[in-house]
Structure 1
């Protein structure tokens, strides 16, 4: 059994403040951290042997803890939400051994929570601790149904508003969730809630660091390629130390196989639909630029794709800068190979390709790359686009999106988990896509012939001297110009030229 000690974070939070919020993707250890706080406040010292809290916590004090988790099941109406909250509060009252007052407001969830907090304080002599897990799940479960999602938001807003008025009875408050809804929409009045999400010192509050892997989990590493472990699963970052998703690592150590464990636990159907509907150029997913307000602006009727991708864990922070005092800009990208490969694989079905068709093409693409048969790429992708049903084009406007064909092309390579460099900067311009595989370099330039005269894609690679950047590798460099036509809905130009160094 392995223990990664997160109690120093808990001790610091308790020492420095009292009301916190943390947004992290699903299966990142948020619930476990809340459990740690709960056991700490309840004084269960035996659970902390060998951890920092064992010698740094006052075990003579015990606090009443109210634990609310909205993560179980799917609630489909405001009435179901109210019933669930009432049941949770009844369970908390029974766990704390508190009698039900005669004036208990059974049908008033906000009043119920307010009474419970005050009663817990009066009965124990210690101010209460409130821990709320998956605070936003009832909204996210209904995000494609705006009226229901709005009703859920209003119900939760009513509940959370209690926390401000009950401040005199509260020792500590901690809320966690996946999304970060705007304060106006969900936390109106709760202006004392400190958001830890983008605080560098708490970047590793959930998840495992490289140091954790090399020390705590050292016995599990023999037999695994350490660098591949890092490439596949590390890289999530919130302006501080990068971390691994715990769910991924624990299953890797158990099964000894590299697989998209985290990604497979939830199909991002809504996300795929949103990216397709908004004609998001998928190569741009590796380098999204956003400001802080955009990342935190999330609501039922306003869902920026960048905010959704970041908050749900499909993109993470790669860089931050302050071009103007007080104005921070972040560069987002995939956290690791697992996410890049799996998300692009899922995106292919959102762009009109059947899963079976996409699988067959991926297998054929792997074989062509492994055998260095680059000429075979043209008929492969020509057959791919020709196989998209005409009826799909009739029902979707995506084919008119300039980046549609290049997005599919890129997503196939990304789905294989290859080393891909997008918009790769040189001293003469930017290479659309560079692929490093099998000790060879593939440089791609994409053009739409309705916008650029045919035959210009390969010529641009040569004219700009894009190969120069990779000559020092001493590997064959393949220059590949790919041209698409929106009218014929297919590849109409495909040229390959190899540079030997």
Structure 2
């Protein structure tokens, strides 16, 4: 079984010994070069293979043909002419201040020149230094310019618009220089997460071809369904064997639900997040791998700064120009930001209105994004409160749990739930329960259906079924009729089955009903909303009795 190239951005390391899995994308390089357009731009979310693709371009333009033996481009007829390459990775360039950004760029340009044997420039401006470098390298052959994450000096400072604006001006002056150097340039490829207008990247290079939403290049970064099944069959077979699964299709379906769903054009082709897919194949379990590599602080900052601008997590519509351009740093269009950053993706396209329908791409993003919203918009639950909720469920004081959840839901800006579907409420509830310290199972598959939530405490198992604009009675009946509790009868613990209903009008839990079952699945008694207040009264009465105040206990409270 080949090694998995997790986090590797060097195509030489992946291909040189042939011991890494490589999903070949070199046919796209042949297409780019053969199309005749000399300069390209593409926007893709972080960790989507942009850096590896640029490094692949670099090795191709340096003429390293033998490295690509067995790849699509090797026998394509490409001439493998050697070109000097200027490679700029802005994720590695300091940009805390515009002065720092400019000085670091100068240092990198000087290092590139020295690597090609050019003399070091003296007392040159940034524009002059770039111009001298390109002209000097062009004496060897026409120059290729590759720019990775050009927008990092802006994105990293969205919470400080004054710095972001000044950094944008540095980039504008820098990239405007390339327009006058066109006769020395062979090819250019520029990547980023977002497309910010008013950077001369777009106004200076008149022939820059933005292929971000071009159907021809929709599968250029990320893995298609076909590629996942072709290149990771051995890993999936090993995972299925380890789990005791008889069908590998179940594993493939799990990967698809969690990591597929990214669509970058009007055509229906979707791709998997490559970073998360590789991590799943390595660690053999689902988790928020992509999301955990860097919380979207710039996005959360925008959501907190402009809460009324929040858009439904279950989707919105937009024109192409609304998605591919951000002009104002003061108030960024959240649709564009969420799409470009990878938290929204295309889910459908209407050719008549030419509008794109957007939504969260998959379970990884939905789960992790909900967790972030809970963390940033609700009060954090400390360890002591977590213990309080666990003890409440041990004694079936369910209202204590639901009242806290209601408070949490009420703290979210109302647009979060505009047009929300049932699974959004469910995901938000799960995130809150995780935050309260519970270990959960969600959408547990049984032979009669899927259980929404399974929650374990020491003395009881809780099974929750959730409805939106339905009824808690119907939810509880579904648990009873489908026997969702049966797989948990072997635990020899009491089982609490709860049906809960969310209201889209109040954007909160409207009511719940419950029943307590014996370990064998027989009904012991209904669970009431009054259980909590009765128990609290009894406990208070016992405390009063202990202190000699026997007359405070009302015998009626012991009814039933």
Is 2:109 aligned against 1:89?
yes
For residue 85 of structure 2, the aligned residue among 48, 62, 65 is 65
**Alpha-carbon shift at residue 257 of structure 1 (Å):** 2.0
Deviations 1:102-148 (A, max 9, x none): xx464311221122112211x21x21100011101011111111111
Is 2:462 aligned against 1:443?
no
**Alpha-carbon shift at residue 58 of structure 1 (Å):** 3.9
**Partner residue of 1:321?**
350
**Alpha-carbon shift at residue 269 of structure 1 (Å):** 2.3
Contact between 2:94 and 2:101, CA under 8 Å: does it hold in 1?
no
- Select the structure of larger CA radius of gyration: 2
**How far, CA to CA, are the matches of 1:399 and 1:250 in structure 2?**
34
For residue 38 of structure 1, the aligned residue among 58, 70, 73 is 58
Contact between 2:288 and 2:368, CA under 8 Å: does it hold in 1?
yes
Structure 2 counterpart SS, 1:71:
helix
**Partner residue of 2:558?**
none
Deviations 1:196-245 (A, max 9, x none): 10011111111111111111121111124221111111111102421112
**Partner residue of 1:293?**
321
**Alpha-carbon shift at residue 492 of structure 1 (Å):** 8.5
More divergent stretch after superposition (216-225 vs 334-343): 216-225
Is 2:66 aligned against 1:79?
no
**Partner residue of 2:171?**
156
Deviations 1:45-102 (A, max 9, x none): 12101001111254552111111111126521111011111111111112222234xx
Alignment of 1:82-481 (within 5 A): 82-100=102-120, 104=121, 106-121=123-138, 123-124=139-140, 126-182=141-197, 187-222=202-237, 223-224=239-240, 225-239=251-265, 240=267, 241-279=269-307, 284-298=312-326, 299-324=328-353, 328-354=354-380, 356=382, 360=386, 378-385=399-406, 401=414, 411-413=428-430, 418=442, 442-445=466-469, 458=471, 480-481=500-501
**Alpha-carbon shift at residue 286 of structure 1 (Å):** 2.0
Is 2:38 aligned against 1:12?
no
More divergent stretch after superposition (215-224 vs 13-22): 215-224
**How far, CA to CA, are the matches of 2:513 and 2:310 in structure 1?**
24
**How far, CA to CA, are the matches of 1:359 and 1:15 in structure 2?**
63
Contact between 2:323 and 2:335, CA under 8 Å: does it hold in 1?
yes
**How far, CA to CA, are the matches of 1:359 and 1:211 in structure 2?**
47
TM-score by length of 2: 0.69
Gaps of 5+ in 2: 1-19, 241-250, 435-439, 445-449, 455-462, 485-496, 516-560
**How far, CA to CA, are the matches of 2:152 and 2:357 in structure 1?**
27
Deviations 1:8-63 (A, max 9, x none): 10111011121100101111110110111110010011210100111125455211
**How far, CA to CA, are the matches of 1:73 and 1:90 in structure 2?**
14
Gaps of 5+ in 1: 421-433, 446-456
Does the C-alpha gap of structure 1 residues 27 and 235 become closer, same or farther in structure 2, counting only changes over 3 Å?
same
Contact between 2:45 and 2:340, CA under 8 Å: does it hold in 1?
yes
**Alpha-carbon shift at residue 377 of structure 1 (Å):** 6.3
Contact between 1:157 and 1:188, CA under 8 Å: does it hold in 2?
no
Structure 1 counterpart SS, 2:312:
helix
**Partner residue of 2:493?**
none
**How far, CA to CA, are the matches of 1:481 and 1:142 in structure 2?**
42
TM-align CA RMSD: 4.1
**Alpha-carbon shift at residue 277 of structure 1 (Å):** 3.8
Is 2:67 aligned against 1:47?
yes
**How far, CA to CA, are the matches of 2:81 and 2:429 in structure 1?**
58
Does the C-alpha gap of structure 1 residues 172 and 55 become closer, same or farther in structure 2, counting only changes over 3 Å?
same
Does the C-alpha gap of structure 1 residues 187 and 493 become closer, same or farther in structure 2, counting only changes over 3 Å?
closer
TM-score by length of 1: 0.77
**How far, CA to CA, are the matches of 2:415 and 2:66 in structure 1?**
62
Report 1 or 2 for greater relative contact order, CA contacts < 8 Å, sequence distance ≥ 6.
Answer: 1
Contact between 1:484 and 1:493, CA under 8 Å: does it hold in 2?
no
Aligned length: 444
**Alpha-carbon shift at residue 307 of structure 1 (Å):** 1.0
